Amino acid sequence: MKVPLLDLKPQYLSLKKELDEALLKVAESQYFILGPEVDAMEKEMREFLGAKFAYGVSSGTDALLLSLMALGIGEGDEVLLPTFSFFATAGVVSRLNAIPVFIDSDPVTFNIDAAKAKEKITAKTKAIIPVHLYGQSADMDAVMKLANEHNLFVVEDGAQAISTRYSNGRCVGTIGHIGCYSFFPSKNLGCFGDGGLVVTNDEEIAYRLKITRVHGGDPKYYHKVIGGNFRIDAIQAAILRVKLPHLNSWSAKRRVNAALYNSFFVASGLAEGTGKTEFNNANKVLLPAAVFEKLQADIPNYHIYNQYIIRVEKRDALREYLAKKEIATEIYYPVAFHNQECFKDVPSAKDSYPVSDALSATVIALPIFPELTEEQIKFVVDMIAEFFMS
């Protein structure tokens, strides 16, 4: 049985008429960049996310870059961020000649360990970027407390977490100073190309985001600050407006799929607890934290499973075995920032990161997209069980 990691076709087919009409409407309007579709999308996003201001941008990466620019982060400023994340989280910091300061991960949520972030604060620290990895909120109480104590800006990287809720019921991205999202097609809410969004509740920051998105001009051709072209296309906004009303049901379906995986793993006897950095038994699978939700009452957030991640000691051999069974998997991410060639001169790269190193060596993403069938999920778990018996 073939199980792809992600299949976007069924979602498209389920909304084909509306999506095709949205595309045609933009073609007929010949209004391609920003404009009425983007305004309407931003309004719907503000309402959906519970944010005062929202601006559509060119990608999730640009959302992060624009945010740091709008906050005036630049040469020599230090920015705390998890060493275990997608490249963009750290890349944008270095592109502004600021200094990424890598932080080890929490072994349960795989997100930034705020206690370890605290140890690395200096007089130059200006901001912290918590990432809500795989669709699960970082510990925002701890992050906000640290930020308040040390007067840091908080830029949330919610690229994998649009509609994820934190324990206080708020959407992640609306808790810090700025929230960033990505509409890359493989995210929970994807458009037909690149796209992103920034949100804030602060009027002054909102103004800076808004003008920096259009080369810093206000009015046009009168440049207050040096910005860039961070605009989103009308076509992407039109697609997002069709899809947004379905996002909650897609995320709910991902959660159902995650629960199915969890129960099949538990039934198979393969499941071991979570939050370990060392395996007691190389033939066991560490499940995502949420399976032990009841035991982990301190992590009561709404995980939207952009990825369903298990940890396996013999990860690479398992991956090969599954590939032979036509089950696609992926490694998010095989190399943490402190081990990346391009960051070898970053001072914090020489520090030790035992949790992130363990994660890079053992995580594996299984297919989790909403349209996956129970039969496919059962097959994946059966094949993993077969691998451990072979």
Which residues contribute to the site for ligand PLP (CB under 6 A)?
A: 59-61, 85-86, 88-89, 131, 157, 159-160, 182, 184, 194, 196
Rounded Cα gap, residues 76 and 342, in angstroms: 17
Question: Which residues make Cβ contacts (< 8 Å) with residue 352, sequence separation at least 6?
Answer: none
Question: Which residues make Cβ contacts (< 8 Å) with residue 154, sequence separation at least 6?
Answer: 127, 128, 129, 130, 143, 144, 147, 175, 176, 177, 178
Query: For the chain, what is the total number of helices (H) and then of strands (E)?
Result: 13, 11
Least Å distance, CB 277 to ligand PLP, is 22
Residue 260 or 355 having the CB closest to ligand PLP: 355
Residue 130 or 271 having the CB closest to ligand PLP: 130
**Closest residue to ligand PLP, based on beta-carbon distance:** 60
Residue 67 or 182 having the CB closest to ligand PLP: 182
Residue 89 or 136 having the CB closest to ligand PLP: 89
Q: Where do runs of H (alpha helix) occur along the chain? A: 9-14, 16-29, 36-49, 60-70, 88-95, 114-119, 140-150, 203-212, 234-243, 247-268, 315-324, 354-362, 374-389
Least Å distance, CB 375 to ligand PLP, is 29
Residues in the chain: 390
Residue 73 or 383 having the CB closest to ligand PLP: 73
Distance between first and last Cα of the chain: 19
For the beta sheet containing 78-82, the strands, ordered from the edge strand earlier in sequence to the opposite edge, are: 53-57, 196-200, 178-182, 153-157, 125-128, 78-82, 99-103
Question: Which residues make Cβ contacts (< 8 Å) with residue 267, sequence separation at least 6?
Answer: none
Least Å distance, CB 62 to ligand PLP, is 7
Residue 127 or 271 having the CB closest to ligand PLP: 127
381 token code pair: 């778990």
Rounded Cα gap, residues 189 and 163, in angstroms: 9
Residue 173 or 227 having the CB closest to ligand PLP: 173
Least Å distance, CB 64 to ligand PLP, is 6
Least Å distance, CB 85 to ligand PLP, is 5
Rg, C-alpha atoms of the chain: 21
Residue 89 or 274 having the CB closest to ligand PLP: 89
Question: Which residues make Cβ contacts (< 8 Å) with residue 54, sequence separation at least 6?
Answer: 42, 43, 45, 46, 197, 198, 199
Least Å distance, CB 286 to ligand PLP, is 21
Least Å distance, CB 74 to ligand PLP, is 20
Least Å distance, CB 193 to ligand PLP, is 10
Rounded Cα gap, residues 250 and 293, in angstroms: 21
**Residues 274-306: b if buried by 16+ CB within 10 A, e if exposed:** bbeeebeeeebbbbbbbbbeeeeeebebbbbbb
Least Å distance, CB 365 to ligand PLP, is 12
Residue 58 or 271 having the CB closest to ligand PLP: 58
Cα 219 vs. chain centroid, distance in angstroms?
Answer: 34
